[in-house]
Every structure is written in structure tokens, then in C-alpha cells.
Amino acid sequence: MTENSMKITHHQTFESLRLEKNGQEFWNARKLAKVLEYSEYRHFLPVIEKAKVACKNSGHDIEDHFEDTLEMVRIGSGALRKLPNIKLSRYACYLIVQNGDPSKRVIANGQTYFAIQTRRQELSDNVTFQQLKEEEKRLFLRNELKEHNKLLVETAQQAGVENTIDFAIFQNHGYKGLYGGLDAKGIHQHKRLKKKQKILDHMGSTELAANLFRATQTEEKLRREHIKGKAKANQTHYNVGKKVRQTIEEIGGTMPENLPKAEKGIEQLKKETNKRSITSDKPL
């Protein structure tokens, strides 16, 4: 298994462990311990305690993220016994993997997964994201899309999208669904972009968000429904893109092909942001 494949597998495992009750998501500490390759749950408890300290030091209430419970667990003899367990929030999981052994690949991948997911949740729940400048939103969303496209590539490969040409065709099906029949080349022409300008790098935050939703929902659907074969994968991507387009239409939004292009590319924004950061760090 390649390093990227292992990363994808770990990410999918973390997501599959996610439970939900009364609209609240959580992770089971005993199950998470096994995935994180702790031989015994008792060896996992010190890591949880470190995470609790980090939670408190960051100004959060421990009880909001670590809920003690009792769970019926089958022991070696086959009998059931009530054993202590903990319901963990996404933020709690993030703190746990941050305090885990980074030499373990599953821990390192967990740090990436929960960092991305926790950051996204914070921004979606918090007015902070809405207060970001347009350029800051674009940088964040473009990076999110970049990460999720990696997941999409791997999941599409597992479905039968085998090579670069296959994936380009697969991507175009998603674009056609979302952009009313336009493929990547058609979008490029419609937006009147220059030859070397990439369509994703010149999208505004609203358009990037629509494409991020397309990518995440396609990846999840391919994986959840165990879709196999290029044709089925392509059709799935098209259907998801079309559904996102329908949703935009239903809420009265602007179709993505009609959204204005961003004049500044992502690379230019990165350079300007880095330059501002270096300037602000200079001693007075």
C-alpha cells in the first residue's frame, strides 16, 4: 500500500467511526484506541488525560468534549461486562492525536484528518469565517479543495478510474453536472481565462465552495455505495454535480458559470499573503 493510499484508508476509517445521536457527532474512545494501534485501552488513557489538560488550557470545558459513559463490552470469555468508555467530540479527537505518538503513521494521518475537519467545523459554526476577507476565504477553500481532490482521486481509482486520462474524463463529468454541460475547457473559455490560468485558481469563494461540496459528496458517495466501474463513477460524479446545481437554483443562487472570475490567481494571493506576514513580523 502506498503512503497516499494508507492516508486515504486512515481518513476513511476515522470518518466511519463517527457516530451521531440527537444531532451530535462523537467518537467511541475504545474503538478509536484500537484504530490508533494501542494494544490495550489502559495504554490509551494517559493520552486522553493529556488531551483533557490541553482542552482545559485552551479555554474549553472538558465535559463538553469528553463524556464519561458505561458500555457493554464482550470480554475474553464471551460474557458481557459494563466497562467505562468516553464519548469524544471531534475536537477531543484532534487533541488526542496531537498528543499521540507521531512516529505511528496512523497517528500522523489522524493529526492531518482531525486538523482539517476541526478547522472546517470551527469555520462553518463560527462567524469568524464569514468575517474573513474574500481573498482569505479563497485561500482557505482552495486548500480544502486541494486536499479533498486527493481523496477523490484515490477513491475514484478504487472505483476503476485508473489513469490520468480517465481521471480527467471523470472530473469533466462532475463539472458538466455542476456547470450545466460545460467541461473544464468550456468553463475556461466561458470565464475568458488566459491559456495558463487554471479555473480553480481563479474562482471566487462562492464558486470554490460549490466545487468543494461537489468533490466531498462525490467521494463519500463512491465510497459509501461501493461504486465500481469507470462509467458508473463518471455518472455518479455527474449526478452529484447536477444535484449541487439544482440546490443552488432552488435557493436562488447564481449559477457557477455566471459567477465572476477572480482576477488574482491563488499563487499571487499566496505570495502577497506571505509578503505581508514577513513585513508584519519585522521588529519595529
Residue ranges per domain, the chain? Answer: 3-125, 132-270
Beta strands in 89-196 (DSSP E): none
Residue 281: the pLDDT is: 45
The confidence score (pLDDT) of residue 130 equals 67
- The pLDDT, as a whole number, for residue 116 is 63
Q: What is the pLDDT of residue 121?
A: 65
CA 190 vs CA 44, 87, 139, 142: distances in Å:
54, 49, 23, 20
Amino acid type, 153: V
**What is the predicted pLDDT for the residue at 100?**
81
261 residue type, one letter:
K
Beta-ladder partners of 20: 25
pLDDT less than 50: residues of the chain: 280-284
Residue 221: Cβ within 10 Å count:
17
pLDDT of residue 282: 47
pLDDT for 119: 60
> Which region holds residue 70: left if phi is over 0, alpha if psi is between -120 and 50, else beta?
beta
Give the type of residue at 76: G
